[in-house]
Structure 1
Amino acid sequence: MLTLRQIEVIRAIMLAGTVKGAADLLGVSAPGISRVMKHSETQLGLRLFSRNHGRFVPTTEAHGIFAQINEVFAKVENLQFSIDALKQGGGGVFSFASAPSISQHILPRAVKRLRQKFPALRMNINILKIEETIDYLLLKKGELVAMSFKIDHPGLVSHLLASGRLVAVVPAGHALAARTAIALTELAAEPLIGIDPADPYGEILAAPFRDHGLPFDLAIQARFGQTVAALVAANLGVAVLDEFSMAARETPGVAVRPIVEPTSFKTYGVFNAEVARSIFADELIDLLKLEMREALAVR
């Protein structure tokens, strides 16, 4: 059986027409090419080339072999291409999702870093509410969901990404914007914009008010944090959101301030417990953690 090296040498002679040309093509010495060719002919018991005016011409008997050699070489090249593509992230689609609170600022930054490491990686990104995550992962629509809630389900695994805080969001020209920190009582006294407390994310935002015996009476209710922030920028009220939702370097029209009372907001990477994670999922988790640490440092 011919080795891949013998196939490579025979093909090089076919292409170059001379031993020296084949040696130049492969970047080796001419005597070495001659030895490999002679050994191959002896091994096969067949003369592969005849000399014609100084050039090596395939013999009639060897034409069938040369056709198969080309086919084998093409498959080897395709294999190497596939390996190189995998190293760059090619050859498949990495599907994952994020909660709206993470998708606004943190996720795009992490995806940018992921693209830099795997430039050929195809991605399919979805934005999910917490209640949509279970079906998404159990039905294997994607590998990972970056979530603002720890999901208690036997088929899923949640890994902590970061621990942050809730923040007060007020119109840029509002009197409270002059404060270095804002109390919950001050926010409760203003028209509140927020998310339905029956929603898991909305319940997180409402919890500090409830824990301190304060009303969480929403003057305007929206579905996503981005909408809430935009309504605050329109001077329609104040809000409480998580600091990752407000992780932009600057948000026009609003002032983001710490809340006087202690608050907590945790983010998680959620996976299907029965599915092995790809290198892309592991890398994205690390990048999300990095971006969240940087966002906390800035805040």
Structure 2
Amino acid sequence: MFVQVVQLGSVTAVARVLDMSQPSVSKSLALAEQQMGFALFERLDGRMQPTPEARQVYEEACRVQESMVRFDRFIEQVRRYSVGQLRVCATPALAINVLPQAARHFREAFPEHGLVVDMYLNNEIEDAIANRQYDVGFVLEPDDASIPERDVVSRGRMVCVMPRDHRLASRKAVSWQDLDARELVYITTDARIVAMMANAIDGFRERPVSALETNRYTMAINLVRQGIGVTLVDEFALAGAARDDIAVVPLAPRIPVVVRAVRGGRQVVADQSDRFIGEMRGLLRSTGTGDKPVRRKT
């Protein structure tokens, strides 16, 4: 009620919005002032103007209100979970090209189970899982031996994408020294990937003034399709995408990356989560993206 009065400037308007009587609103405000020990409003030109103290209270009240909205949203999620729902998110490239196919296979296996599939920025997915917004997330990151095998969806490498008629298109591999930095479309999506590239390539951060940059792999690939230049992406950015008008050449030396599944803590959807991860793993394998799995001796 207090927030509404600050925003609308009128007890009458607030009473109308909240479907209350005007005396009830006035009485509640008077009680609030009594409890706080200072005046909240003063009348000026027919409007309720907040006092300096009230302006400070208003900022905190808005934060509390936002927290309550998030809490209500969380309760709604719990209510939906009770009837069965799996919430999945992935990096933009995977969300556009692979996630829909995995969703189709999942729906065929669990036709009565609710499913949410969303696109999230790569560096925001783990926080979204930790905050219980999603049950499963698929992130791209530098390959690391410490990643549990059960969470590895696919391993791959960085590649160079160029027009089919590019001078380097017939190479089996290209190095940084083979490229002209002036024609490179730089990608600034994730600090971890940029750091990985900088550690592997001397001079990677030294960009010319005329550099072309984007924060989306799909955008970088489409810029290449327009004949603007070449770009360096992880090969998963090309999963399910047409390659008729582009050439994809491995980058040398090899810079390894991995698609990792981030799992939430809800055991009630553990089987469904494992099934969805398995679908993503199979799809990336069938599209020829990523390394072939290595059979380990037992």
Q: TM-score, normalised by structure 1?
A: 0.59
Paired letter, 1:147 = V
C-alpha distance in 1, partners of 2:129/2:234? 24
Match of 1:160 in 2: 152
| Aligned-pair CA distance for 1:246 | 1.0
C-alpha distance in 2, partners of 1:170/1:114? 34
Query: Pick from 204, 209, 214: which aligns with 1:222?
Result: 214
Aligned length: 203
Query: Pick from 110, 134, 137: which aligns with 1:142?
Result: 134
Q: Tell me the secondary structure at the aligned position of residue 169 of structure 2.
A: helix
Q: Tell me the secondary structure at the aligned position of residue 114 of structure 1.
A: helix
C-alpha contact (below 8 Å) 2:153/2:258 kept by paired residues: yes
221-230 or 188-197, which moves further after superposition?
188-197
Alignment CA distance shift 1:297-1:194 (3 Å): closer
Alignment CA distance shift 1:166-1:136 (3 Å): same
Paired letter, 2:219 = T
| Aligned-pair CA distance for 1:181 | 2.3
Kindly report the root-mean-square deviation, in angstroms, between the aligned alpha carbons of the 2 structures. Answer: 3.1
C-alpha contact (below 8 Å) 1:100/1:129 kept by paired residues: yes
| Aligned-pair CA distance for 1:184 | 2.1
C-alpha distance in 2, partners of 1:298/1:241? 13
Larger radius of gyration: 1
Query: Pick from 179, 182, 185: which aligns with 1:187?
Result: 179
Match of 1:43 in 2: none
| Aligned-pair CA distance for 1:95 | 1.0
| Residue-by-residue CA offset, 1:179-236 (whole Å, 9 max, x unaligned) | 23222211254521122276334434x34xx424233427211111111101111111
Paired letter, 2:167 = A
117-126 or 255-264, which moves further after superposition?
117-126
C-alpha distance in 1, partners of 2:214/2:290? 27
Match of 2:274 in 1: 282
Q: Tell me the secondary structure at the aligned position of residue 177 of structure 1.
A: coil
Task: State yes or no: 1:131 paired with 2:123.
Answer: yes
Match of 2:202 in 1: 213
Q: Tell me the secondary structure at the aligned position of residue 237 of structure 2.
A: coil
C-alpha contact (below 8 Å) 2:94/2:239 kept by paired residues: no
Name stretches of at least 5 consecutive residues in structure 1 with no aligned partner: 1-89, 153-157
Match of 2:166 in 1: 174
C-alpha distance in 2, partners of 1:181/1:283? 35
C-alpha contact (below 8 Å) 2:139/2:262 kept by paired residues: yes
C-alpha contact (below 8 Å) 1:104/1:226 kept by paired residues: no
Identity of aligned pairs, percent? 21
| Residue-by-residue CA offset, 1:90-144 (whole Å, 9 max, x unaligned) | 9433211001232232323322221222234332112111332233112211101
Name stretches of at least 5 consecutive residues in structure 2 with no aligned partner: 1-81, 145-149, 292-298
Alignment CA distance shift 1:133-1:170 (3 Å): same
| Residue-by-residue CA offset, 1:228-255 (whole Å, 9 max, x unaligned) | 1011111111111111111236324321
C-alpha distance in 1, partners of 2:94/2:122? 12
Query: Pick from 288, 292, 297: which aligns with 2:284?
Result: 292
Q: Tell me the secondary structure at the aligned position of residue 175 of structure 1.
A: coil
